[in-house]
Amino acid sequence: MEVVIPTQNDVSSLDQIVTLLSSFSCIKKIHIVNNNSTAANTQIIQEIVESERKCVYHFCSSNGKGSAIKIALHYTSDDVLFLDADISNLSSSSIKKLIERFYNTESCDFVKANITRANGQSNSGFILSEFSRFFPNLSISRPTCGIYIVKKGVINGLDVSSLPDGWAIDIAILLEAHIKGNKIIEEDIGTIFDKARNETSLEQSEKQLSEYLRHFLNCHFPRCEAR
């Protein structure tokens, strides 16, 4: 298994996340993607990567979570665990639950984390009605969550270049996997503490998510009217 972690100036929890992940023998590589961070934070990221032999450093000069993840995907060759860099309370038990659910569930292709954010923020609520309407067999509580494990075969089947460059990357990977008939389940890993985002950031991400969902529905359900 490999891990992909994009980060744009989120460094305060990165060292402890890398240390935790490195303790899992099944994790062979940890891809850290520096998404155009400041010079000071770039130095911190590089030092963290250099301190752990499992880490691989990538630099992404184009802003956007999707841009960063797409760079890392070109270098992965195994099942992938996607994580965010700003989780301050990530625990071994939560990672273990995801990994065990992924490998111990028959024919499982994708495990999405179901989380509760301590800061109360969520980008999932406004699209859940569309999910239940168009994807009734996809019972996912947090479709936009950035914590999930995907099988190598699913990753290989993605047209990486066509994936969105921004916040919609996580929901795009989920829907591409679903539309191709892959088995997707979720695992509750409890409450996470991550960085609270400002109103402008939340508005931008909601706009990107809405635009991508509209695009996806128009491609696969051309006669529908997405909200």
Spatial separation of the C-alpha atoms in residues 69 and 73, rounded to whole Å: 6
Per the model's pLDDT, the better-predicted residue between 208 and 125 turns out to be 208
Does residue 42 surpass a pLDDT of 90?
yes
Please compute the mean of the pLDDT values over residues 157-166 and round it to a whole number: 95
Q: What is the pTM of this model?
A: 0.93
Number of other CB atoms surrounding residue 5 within 10 Å: 25
Asked whether 135 and 212 are in contact (CB, 8 A), the reply is: no
Q: Return the HEC string of 7-29.
A: ECCCCCCHHHHHHHHHCCCCCCE
Domains of the chain: 2-220 (3.90.550.10)
Q: Tokens in use for 115? A: 């989380």
**Higher pLDDT among residues 5 and 202, named by residue:** 5
Handedness of CA 204, 206, 210, 216 (dihedral sign): positive
Question: Which amino acid does the sequence have at 158?
Answer: L
